[in-house]
Amino acid sequence: MRILGIDPGYATIGFGLLESERGNCRLLQYGTITTPPDLDFSQRLLMIYNDMIQLLETVQPDQVAIEELFWGHNVTTGIGVSHGRGVILLTIAQKELPLFEYTPMQIKQAVVGYGMATKQQVMDMTKRLLKMEKVARPDDAADAIAVALCHSRSNTSLLQGIQ
């Protein structure tokens, strides 16, 4: 199964594509979608939409996992990220792809085994689990890989079918 992990934003959107089969994962591709800060915000959202369509058509994921937003101290930035995330969710819905959302704590728990892990611990564990030579850069791409890895590990859980 091909899992596309997304770290949402409006200036930089991280993505990571994993091949997950029987609990084994292999990193296929990662990177970022960026928008120029000098563009009008609506034009940045349009650019995100067009780039997300192109990304989804190019990598053809079976499932998409995205990080839920965590509202920190900067509400203004959070609102912009919310707009970008909305555009990303729209493109995923238009492609009729199964979508899974995870909180930062769920991602940390799935990747490191501890929901209060530091960002560096998540990046280091992602590198180890996927046998990468170095931690992915920029951080947005590394975060997206962790989101995909979280979904892979959650999706193969024996508890998944229990309700």
Instruction: Judge residue 55's burial from the number of C-beta atoms within 10 Å of its C-beta, 0-12 exposed, 13-18 middle, 19 or more buried.
Output: buried
- List the catalytic residue out of 51, 67, 124, 143: 67
Beta bridge partners of 14: 7, 32
Decide: 145 and 119 in contact? Cβ < 8 Å: no
Cβ atoms within 10 Å, residue 92? 20
124 catalytic? Reply is no
Q: Tell me which fold the domain 2-155 belongs to.
A: Nucleotidyltransferase; domain 5 (3.30.420)
Q: Give the percent of the chain with pLDDT over 90.
A: 84
pTM for this one? 0.91
**Averaged pLDDT, 55-75:** 86
* Count of all residues that appear for the chain in the document: 163
Q: Which pLDDT score, from 0 to 100, does residue 163 have?
A: 44
Task: Give domain limits for the chain.
Answer: 2-155
Cβ atoms within 10 Å, residue 53? 14
Q: What is the pLDDT of residues 70-122, one digit of tens each?
A: 766 556 667 889 999 999 999 999 999 999 999 999 999 999 999 999 999 99
Is 40's pLDDT higher than 80? Answer: yes
